[in-house]
Chains A and B, each alone.
Chain A
Amino acid sequence: MIRGILIGVLAVGVAGTAYWGYQEHQEKNAILLNAENNYQRAFHDLSYQMDLLHDKIGTTLAMNSRHSLSPSLTEVWRITSEAHSDVGQLPLTLLPFNKTEEFLANIGNFSYRTAVRDLDKEPLSDKEYENLKVLYKQSGDIQNELRNVQHMVLKNNLRWMDVELALASGKEQTDNTIIDGFKTVEKTVTGFDETNQGPTTVNFQKKDENYKKIQGKTISRKEAVTIAKKYMNFDGNAKVKVTENGKGSDYGFYSVSMKNPDSGQEASMDITKKAGHPIWFINNRDIKKQILSLNDATNKAQNFLKETGFKDLELFESTQYDNIGVFNFVTSINGIRIYPESVKVKVALDNGDIMGESAEDYLKSFQTRKIDKPAISLQQARSKVNPKLKVMEDRQAVILNDLNEEVTCYEFLGTIGNDTYRIFINAKDGKEEKVEKLKNAEAIYEDVL
């Protein structure tokens, strides 16, 4: 009797579990399929965009007038950006697949720069034409490889989820067609020498100057600690750790970190080996209620910079985040602001401690520079500004333009409606180098009933 009931209950239990397991299995499959379809879409779309790209560059080669060239190059630019976004959706980050993305970014950059130029006044140079031809060939190569992979994927019904699982488990199957195919694509792109993409190709990344412009003798570990202590208010109890930079770094630096076991305060700092300049430091502790005003904090920051040997700095921006004031200073020589040379300082608003400094940009661009005399007058420059802008402030400034070159400009700060704009007009030829809309404070989105 009891045995019978027991068997019955168990049987129901087993059947229930089986049913539940089957449901789970179905759900899992549905989700896998969903993810798989997303990957498939991105991949096939990528391959389609590469087809388009190759064709479009091809047609561009045959064009001559600005009338058709500019829209065509703009189209190339658009396609590269779509292809770029497709690559970003594929599960390939663990594979060295960066070169292809870089290649796309480079074509995009090149086509954008030439498309926005006035091609009537300045037509494509022979060099740029050659460049375009090279890009045409390279995109053809990539297109070919991708089509090959696509063919294999379609023919053998390959699934991206398998790639992902293979990547996640670290056991890459030797015959994984997708991985191998993309590795070939990547190799093809790596083969493109960067030099044959021409001088107009500018990397999006900020140029790494390796602190070439700083002079001075190399410091020792001990000196690094002394310097760090000078910057960060620590008493003798602090535990100090110094490490050198790894082999992959472009420049030599020491990392100094300190911790005060009593107060829980911790701080870190990187110092260049050459001449011992602090690149950045962050001092971390809890900040109590605000007592100082942002203005008091500005003075603290200014004094700090003076004490640590910075000269000719002018406050450019000040912002309060809760109990911290963040200040951005730039060099100012005879009223001319040098924007690339900027130093940021963080000040605690409870007692005015310096909580951090970042001099990376400053160290990279600092130099004794000769500032060109402007070729046009302030009035002339002003006439280049949109007449709707109500100019409130003007000055001369040195900025980095789109091509990463330093240019001397007239800077106009003004308003249109409730928005404030900062506009830079090249002081040599009156070109509008940069127009920035300055940020308004953003409303806090609270759950208002």
Chain B
Amino acid sequence: MHMKNILIKSFVLISVFIMPLSLVNPDGAYAFSRQVIQKGAVGEDVIELQARLQYLGFYNGQIDGVFGWSTYWALRNFQYEFGLPIDGLAGTTTKNKLAKASKYNEYFVKTNLNKGRKFTHYGGVDQSKQEAPSKKAPANNTQTNNAAPKATPKAATKAAPKKGAATPKAAPKKPTAANTPNGFSQNDIRLMANAVHGESRGEPYIGQVAVASVILNRVNSANFPNTVSGVIFEPGAFTAVADGQIWLTPNESSKKAVIDAINGWDPTGEALYYFNPATATSGWIWGRPQIKRIGKHIFCK
């Protein structure tokens, strides 16, 4: 009963704090949607989750809207400290508890995200001090994962003086980071998408995944260079590289195809070569053991 009173009080207190903001954000403090937030998720709920966890001092990374490992451990530590079952999932109970324990200045967070600034959202620190690029921010905070749920303002005090006033509009913001498969950067994916697009424009989607798979199979094979760029730019390996079509802007589907291939979809049966029987000039390629045909291409060992 007593506990409940405190909760209600703190709720009222938070509401008072939030009130001025709700003029800008009519939705108010409880912006979490009803979804259960799980590791790997991306989106506004994750931004809010990270901001709230940072407010309490659990999360020391960048607020970027991607539920990665740091967010996962922060959430588990929060669940541990607040006596919740530790499952690393932000379900209803966890979200309610988190919302009650922390504040979320959505306007502040989103403005800064929109401007592409580095910023922090620790509780108990003047926000104007947190919004400029703070080079050293995460450095001395690294071991505080398990620390008490009190803010660690050290990071923020290092911040440089504030920048110009924010524009009075907080547009909904997409995450500023992205999930990429282990071992590949977004630029690797883009390079592969370029090659896939140049090689297999107009092929069915599965044919694009297949071309991406051949590139990856070559990287893994002892017979070819060991990097994505080495395989793609091996002289004579791909016609699209030779005739410059690789520099066309790739479409969305070739990017998706590359991600599928990296994630383990290999429609080719581990092929290392493919050719278009209508245009193939080398007789040698016909001698390779053929595995299957996808679209216009024949894939072989």
Contacts and interface: CB of A to CB of B under 8 A. Distances in A.
Interface of A: 39, 84-85, 88-96, 98-99, 101-102, 105-106, 164, 167-170, 203-206, 208, 243, 245-251, 253, 255, 257, 266, 268, 270, 280, 282, 284, 290, 292-296, 298, 317-321, 324-326, 342, 344, 346, 356, 358, 360-361, 390, 392, 415, 417-420, 438-446, 448
A320 to B, nearest CB: 5
Contacts of A390: 143, 145-146
Main secondary structure, interface of B, reads: loop
Contacts, number: 217
Interface stretch (B2-10, B124-132, B153-161, B174-182): B174-182
- In order of increasing CB-CB distance, the 4 nearest A-B pairs are A248-B289, A293-B35, A105-B222, A441-B66
A96 B70 contact: no
Interface stretch (B16-24, B98-106, B163-171, B266-274): B266-274
Nearest to A100: B223
**Per DSSP, are chain A's interface residues mostly helix, strand or loop, or mixed?**
mixed
Given A105-B222, A205-B221, A444 B178 contact: yes
Given A164-B235, A253-B269, A417-B142, A294 B291 contact: no
Given A441-B64, A441-B179, A317 B186 contact: no
Contacts of B35: 292-296
A356 B177 CA distance: 25
Contact of B69 (A266, A294, A326, A440): A440
Interface of B: 35-43, 60-62, 64, 66, 68-70, 73, 76, 89, 115-116, 138, 142-143, 145-146, 175-183, 185-186, 204-206, 209, 220-226, 230, 234-237, 256, 259-260, 263-267, 269-270, 281-285, 288-294, 298, 300-301
A93 B222 contact: no
A88 B225 contact: yes
Contacts of B41: 293-295, 318, 320
Contacts of A206: 220
A438 to B, nearest CB: 6
A360 B73 contact: no
A257 B234 CA distance: 33
A380 to B, nearest CB: 24
A359 to B, nearest CB: 10
Contact of B259 (A105, A321, A361): A321
Contacts of A84: 225-226
A93 B234 contact: yes
Nearest to A268: B206
A90 B222 contact: no
Given A91-B236, A444-B176, A266 B205 contact: yes
